[in-house]
């Protein structure tokens, strides 16, 4: 069995590892679920599939109506399953969207390298790194609404909720969802658990909100997610 080493193709595989590693390093430095190894493997696998697609096309060109390019096309849709695993939802908060998008772009970088489009792959890697490293620092300068969830243990008195709502209104907190759950009677007082889902339009520090809520006599305990 002949075994010819194609150094050009090996170079493509090596480049896909390097470019995927650059993006993966940034994700790893931020302790994201899809870090260095995940991004390298996604980029490397995408590159291999594109190389196989091109080789298969060369072997069957003019012999059949089959379209080997579909093999590479499945990477774009198939990577969605891996990206979905990086997305987490807790209450109103959704995290992992950027990491999932990175995996999708890294797959594209791998396909580009596998197809021999090196300049496009390198440029995309540079742009992705700039977006992740530079634009992330702009978050602190932008007034972006933040979804927050809170759980309060309160004395179930008639005027408790209006006082709490007034406190949140003072901080320009928008209350999106309210849920009140009764608990067993403790210390001869009927207590309840108040669940709030809110939008922190002014990005008020949660420690300030906790202190303000604790100042209400009927609020026994406050916990933010």
pLDDT tens digit sequence for 5-32: 677 888 999 999 999 998 888 888 877 7
Residue 45: alpha-carbon gap to chain centroid:
21
Domains and CATH numbers, the chain: 7-141 (no CATH), 146-224 (3.30.70.260)
pLDDT at position 81: 74
DSSP annotation of 33: S
pLDDT tens digit sequence for 127-140: 988 888 777 666 55
**Global confidence as pTM:** 0.57
Please compute the mean of the pLDDT values over residues 185-206 and round it to a whole number. 78
How far is it, in rounded angstroms, from Cα 48 to Cα 9? 9
How far is it, in rounded angstroms, from Cα 51 to Cα 205? 51
Query: Cβ contacts of residue 182 below 8 Å, gap of 6+?
Result: 156, 190, 192, 193
Query: Cβ contacts of residue 73 below 8 Å, gap of 6+?
Result: none
How far is it, in rounded angstroms, from Cα 155 to Cα 160? 7
Residue 136's CB is within 10 A of a number of other CB atoms, namely: 12
Under DSSP, is residue 132 helix (H, G, I), strand (E, B) or coil?
A: helix
8: alpha, beta or left? (left if phi > 0; alpha if psi -120 to 50): alpha
pLDDT tens digit sequence for 144-174: 557 888 999 998 777 889 999 999 999 888 8
CB 87 within 8 A of CB 23: no
pLDDT tens digit sequence for 33-86: 778 888 898 899 899 888 888 877 776 666 666 666 677 778 877 887 777 777
Please compute the mean of the pLDDT values over residues 197-215 and round it to a whole number. 87
């Amino acid at each position: 069995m002949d075994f010819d080493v194609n150094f050009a193709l090996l170079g493509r595989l090596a480049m896909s590892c390097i470019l995927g590693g650059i993006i993966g390093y940034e994700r790893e430095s931020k302790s994201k679920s899809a870090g260095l190894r995940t991004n390298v493997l996604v980029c490397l696998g995408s590159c291999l599939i594109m190389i196989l697609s091109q080789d298969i096309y060369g072997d069957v060109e003019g012999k059949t109506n089959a379209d080997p390019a579909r093999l590479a096309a499945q990477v774009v849709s198939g990577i969605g399953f891996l990206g979905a695993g990086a997305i987490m939802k807790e209450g109103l908060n959704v995290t992992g969207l950027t990491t999932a998008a990175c995996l999708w772009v890294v797959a594209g970088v791998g396909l580009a390298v596998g197809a021999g489009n090196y300049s496009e792959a390198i440029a995309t890697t540079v742009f992705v790194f700039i977006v992740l490293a530079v634009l992330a620092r702009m978050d602190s300068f932008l007034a972006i609404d933040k979804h927050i969830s809170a759980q309060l243990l309160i004395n179930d008195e008639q005027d408790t909720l209006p006082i709490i709502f007034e406190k949140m209104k003072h901080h320009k907190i928008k209350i999106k969802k309210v849920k009140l759950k009764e608990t067993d009677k403790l210390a001869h007082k009927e207590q309840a658990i108040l669940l709030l889902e809110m939008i922190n339009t002014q990005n008020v520090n949660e420690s300030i909100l906790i202190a303000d809520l604790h100042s209400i006599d009927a609020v026994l305990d406050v916990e933010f997610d």
